[in-house]
């Protein structure tokens, strides 16, 4: 029992979780029709990648991966700000957030 | 000799063409916005300035000439070469060079002098016309190119001027471009000239290939050094140049454009299609005379072409009813005389006739223009008559012109025509035939000119139009000056004239021992001219019904002449029609429409079809784009991650690189 607690979680588990989260994000992006859900799926994918970055950084005792994660988080925050603003603008113009109906570059 | 040159005048030769060019630019670009008097001033200053420049530049040539008469030798010519070469590729070296010698000096004096008079005349003649500034800019452009042609020191620069005067001629024939016939006549002149230019070009290529130079003086030197240059390739070159000259100077078989060129304004007919441009062919032969001197065969062809053209055009001129067309055929005929002169190697006589012809033919054309102007645009001789009362000055100057062209003593035409006929006669043999043809032509010339004179000025008025414009002094002035020149222009005499030209055209001594023969031939020529005048008098003054009776007596011959020997129809059927058929059925339908059009249609169709297929990808649906992106990423991942060689090896497939 003790040994089980002190034992490290193996690398593959993290990676598996990361892949699972990423796949969930992809599937969500592809099948969801609401623009906000699609947007959340993108965030999910980003964080799945973040998880694998951190995992490898821990594995190889290198800090670069963790620094990268900060960059990704920063970009994601900026993207959230811009993306949500765009979503609001689109909703005002079209009165809908259904992805399938937003298929023209023209407003 | 230096005692006689009191001062040394040096004038840059390029000023001579530059002045008309400046006039062209000014009137061509700004003419429509400038007031009319500015346009007129610019248009007149350009040729006047050029004329003065020619006089100043020619002074050192004139002065030694007068001294030469006192027993000194005087070979003088100026060469002005641009310091940077024009074309310098390998062995080919062509300079931008102008040459002023006796020949180009005479020609320049005619071009700028008569040109200036015709500019002055145009001020009156064109005053009511729409494109006043456009007209004068074209006229100045013509003078620019003509002076370049005359001054050119090598064949290529001459060709530049040659093509340029062709362009100016095209623009001015088609001056009334709204009229289909005028536009067509311009195109005809340009296209027929292109055939001649083809000959000129081939001649130049052959010159380059055989002599390695296009400079006239160098060609002359090389020909002089080696007596082996005789006939053969020299003949071919000379015949090619003759084709070019025949195109520009409206000789058989390329004369057909000149009568149609009368669609242009009458002063243009006087300047370009009588006095100057059409004589460029004669000038070119005189300029390259060394080539012709080395090829008796080519010289003979020149003489035959000239004599045949002179007679041929004169017979057509007998029955024409349009006053300008009579003069046009007369011009072709007189140009034939000049070619005849060149053909018997009497270049100075040919140039002499060129000068006097420029005087009296410009005079006749301008007088015809004055008649047409006065009676409201009518050109048909049958509707004129009795004009001597209305237009006394025009009548007087036309009389001078008619006497000059018919060759009556002491008018200008007598001396020059006589010089050519004499040179032909003393050549002996076939020269006698040429002389006889020339004499018959002189008879015909005298007849049709007196016919024109009687029909237009004497008899009863036959025209219904009574409105009568007065002729302004700007038109009468040049007429009077040209009438004076037509009277006195020949008095310099052929001996003095050829002595002056000798350094440029070669000293050819016409055997001087036969003064009696010369006198007899002169009397014969005047008698023939008189006979022509009497026949015209009998037919057109004493009994005006006789010409119609005569025409009815020989209906076939008359019809032939009225229809100009059906030459236009013949060319139309043998050259134009087949070319048109080839162009329409083969080039247009098969090559252009079927082959090229089909290929373009196929390519375009393929692109359109591919577009129709591929446009389905661009649905605008973001989820489909994302799906394709994911599928692509998955495919790349699959390709990278899976160890394909091993997998395939397990399946029994071995990948081998070819050639290993």
B400: how many CB neighbours lie within 10 A of its CB?
A: 25
| C-alpha to C-alpha distance for B508 and B496, rounded to whole angstroms | 13
Q: Rounded to a whole number, what is the distance in Å from the CA of B633 to chain A's nearest CA?
A: 11
Question: In sequence order, which residues have a C-beta less than 8 Å from that of residue B278 and are 6 or more positions away?
Answer: B248, B249, B250, B258, B272, B331, B335
Residue A105 lies in a domain: no
Say if the Cβ atoms of B630 and A26 lie within 8 Å. yes
What's the CATH number where A87 sits? Answer: 1.10.287.3510
**Please, which pLDDT band fits residue B655 given cuts at 50, 70 and 90?**
low
Please tell me the total count of domains within chain A.
Answer: 1
Which single residue is written with the structure tokens 């006796």?
A: B102
For B412-441, give the DSSP string: HHHHHHHHHHHHHHHT-THHHHHHHHHHHH
| Residue B614, min C-alpha distance to chain A (Å) | 17
pLDDT tens digits, B81-99: 888 888 888 888 888 889 8
Is residue A106 domain-resident? Answer: no
Determine whether the interchain pair B626/A30 forms a contact, defined as Cβ–Cβ distance below 8 Å.
yes
In a domain, A85, yes or no: yes
Give B4-63 pLDDT, tens digit per residue. 444 444 567 888 999 999 999 999 999 888 898 999 999 999 999 999 999 888 877 777
- Interchain CB distance below 8 Å, B630 and A100: no
Locate the chain B residue with the closest alpha carbon to A28.
B623
Work out the minimum CA distance from A5 to partner chain B, whole angstroms.
Answer: 34
Most confident of B80-89, B216-225, B392-401, B499-508: B392-401
Q: Establish how many alpha carbons lie within 13 A of residue A6's alpha carbon, considering only the half-sphere containing its beta carbon.
A: 3
Residue B164 to residue B166: CA distance in whole angstroms:
5
A82 lies in some domain:
yes
Using CB atoms within 10 Å of the CB of residue B555, give its burial: 0 to 12 exposed, 13 to 18 middle, 19+ buried: exposed
Q: Which of B465, B260, B266, B451 is nearest to B383 (CA)?
A: B465
Report the percentage of chain B scoring pLDDT > 90: 51
- Nearest CB among A38, A103, A105 relative to B621 is that of A103
Closest partner residue to B623 (CB to CB) among A30, A104, A105 is: A30
Predicted complex ipTM: 0.77
User: Residue A99 is nearest to which of B619, B623, B630, comparing CB atoms?
Assistant: B623
CA distance B327 to B360: 11
Residues in B 598-657 with any Cβ partner in A closer than 8 A? 619-623, 626-627, 630
Domain boundaries, position A64: 9-94
In this structure, the number of other CB atoms found within 10 A of the CB of residue B135 comes to 25
Q: What pLDDT band is residue B146 in, cutting at 50, 70 and 90?
A: very high
Q: Identify all chain A residues contacting B630, using CB atoms and an 8 Å cutoff.
A: 26, 30
Q: Is residue A1 part of a domain?
A: no
Phi, psi of B187 (to 5 degrees): -65, -40
In a domain, A36, yes or no: yes
Quote the CA–CA distance of B25 and B28 in Å, as a whole number. 5
Higher per-residue confidence, B381 vs B134: B134
The answer as to whether A104 is a domain residue is no
Q: What is the pLDDT of residue B67?
A: 56
CB-based contact (8 Å) between A24 and chain B? Answer: no
The answer to whether residue B297 scores a pLDDT higher than 80 is yes
Residue B436: the pLDDT is 92
- For B189-220, how does the pLDDT look when each residue is reduced to its tens digit (9 = 90+)? 999 999 999 999 999 999 999 888 899 988 98
Residue B659 binned pLDDT confidence (cut-offs 50, 70, 90): very low
């Amino acid at each position: 029992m003790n040994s089980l607690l002190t034992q490290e979680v193996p690398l593959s588990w993290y990676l598996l979780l990361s892949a699972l989260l990423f796949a969930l994000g992809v599937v969500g992006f592809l099948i969801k029709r609401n623009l906000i859900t699609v947007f959340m799926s993108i965030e999910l994918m980003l964080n799945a990648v973040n998880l694998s970055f951190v995992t490898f950084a821990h594995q190889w005792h290198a800090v670069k991966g963790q620094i990268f994660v900060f960059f990704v988080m920063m970009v994601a925050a900026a993207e959230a700000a811009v993306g949500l603003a765009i979503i609001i603008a689109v909703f005002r113009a079209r009165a809908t957030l259904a992805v399938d109906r937003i298929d023209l570059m023209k407003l | 000799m230096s005692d006689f040159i009191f001062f040394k005048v040096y004038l840059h030769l390029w000023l001579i063409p530059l002045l008309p060019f400046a006039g062209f630019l000014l009137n061509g670009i700004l003419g429509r916005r400038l007031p009319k008097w500015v346009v007129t001033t610019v248009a007149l200053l350009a040729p006047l300035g050029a004329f003065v420049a020619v006089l100043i530049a020619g002074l050192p040539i004139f002065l030694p000439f007068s001294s030469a008469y006192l027993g000194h030798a005087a070979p003088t010519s100026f060469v002005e070469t641009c310091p940077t070469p024009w074309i310098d590729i390998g062995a080919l070296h062509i300079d931008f060079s102008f040459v002023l010698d006796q020949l180009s000096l005479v020609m320049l004096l005619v071009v700028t002098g008569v040109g200036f008079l015709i500019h002055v005349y145009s001020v009156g003649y064109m005053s009511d016309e729409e494109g006043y500034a456009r007209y004068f800019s074209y006229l100045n452009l013509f003078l620019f190119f003509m002076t370049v042609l005359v001054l050119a020191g090598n064949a290529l620069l001459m060709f530049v001027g040659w093509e340029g005067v062709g362009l100016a001629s095209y623009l001015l024939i088609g001056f009334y471009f709204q009229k289909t016939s005028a536009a067509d006549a311009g195109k005809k002149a340009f296209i027929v000239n292109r055939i001649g230019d083809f000959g000129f070009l081939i001649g130049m290529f052959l010159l380059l290939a055989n002599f390695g130079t296009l400079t006239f003086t160098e060609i002359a030197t090389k020909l002089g050094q080696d007596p082996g240059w005789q006939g053969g390739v020299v003949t071919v070159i000379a015949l090619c140049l003759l084709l070019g000259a025949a195109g520009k100077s409206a000789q058989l078989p390329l004369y057909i454009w000149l009568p149609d060129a009368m669609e242009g304004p009458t002063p243009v007919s006087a300047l370009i299609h009588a006095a100057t441009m059409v004589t460029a062919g004669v000038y070119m032969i005189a300029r390259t005379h060394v080539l012709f001197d080395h090829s008796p065969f080519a010289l003979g062809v020149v003489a035959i072409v000239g004599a045949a053209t002179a007679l041929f055009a004169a017979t057509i001129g007998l029955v024409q009813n349009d006053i300008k067309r009579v003069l046009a055929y007369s011009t072709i005929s007189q140009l034939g005389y000049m070619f005849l002169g060149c053909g018997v190697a009497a270049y100075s006589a040919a140039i002499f006739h060129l000068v006097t012809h420029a005087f009296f033919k410009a005079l006749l054309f301008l007088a015809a223009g004055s008649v047409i102007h006065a009676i409201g645009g009518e050109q048909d001789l049958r509707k004129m008559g009795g004009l001597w009362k209305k237009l006394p000055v025009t009548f007087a100057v036309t009389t001078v012109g008619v006497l000059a062209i018919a060759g009556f003593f002491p008018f200008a035409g007598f001396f020059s025509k006589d010089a050519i006929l004499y040179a032909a006669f003393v050549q002996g043999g076939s020269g006698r035939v040429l002389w006889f043809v020339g004499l018959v032509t002189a008879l015909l010339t005298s007849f049709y000119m007196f016919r024109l004179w009687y029909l237009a000025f004497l008899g009863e008025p036959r025209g219904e139009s009574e409105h009568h414009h007065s002729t302004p002094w700007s038109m009468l002035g040049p007429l009077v000056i040209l009438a004076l020149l037509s009277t006195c222009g020949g008095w310099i005499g052929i001996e003095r004239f050829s002595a002056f030209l000798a350094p440029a055209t070669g000293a050819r001594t016409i055997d001087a021992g036969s003064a009696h023969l010369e006198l007899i031939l002169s009397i014969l020529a005047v008698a023939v001219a008189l006979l022509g005048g009497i026949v015209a008098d009998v037919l057109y003054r004493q009994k005006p019904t006789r010409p119609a009776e005569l025409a009815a007596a020989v209906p076939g011959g008359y019809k032939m002449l009225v229809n100009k020997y059906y030459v236009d129809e013949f060319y139309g059927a043998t050259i134009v029609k087949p070319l048109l058929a080839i162009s329409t059925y083969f080039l247009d339908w098969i090559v252009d429409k079927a082959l090229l059009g089909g290929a373009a249609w196929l390519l375009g169709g393929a692109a359109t079809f591919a577009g129709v297929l591929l446009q389905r990808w661009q649905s605008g649906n973001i989820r489909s784009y994302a799906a394709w992106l994911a599928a692509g990423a998955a495919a790349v991942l699959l390709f990278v991650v899976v160890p394909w060689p091993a997998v395939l090896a397990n399946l029994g497939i071995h990948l081998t690189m070819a050639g290993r």
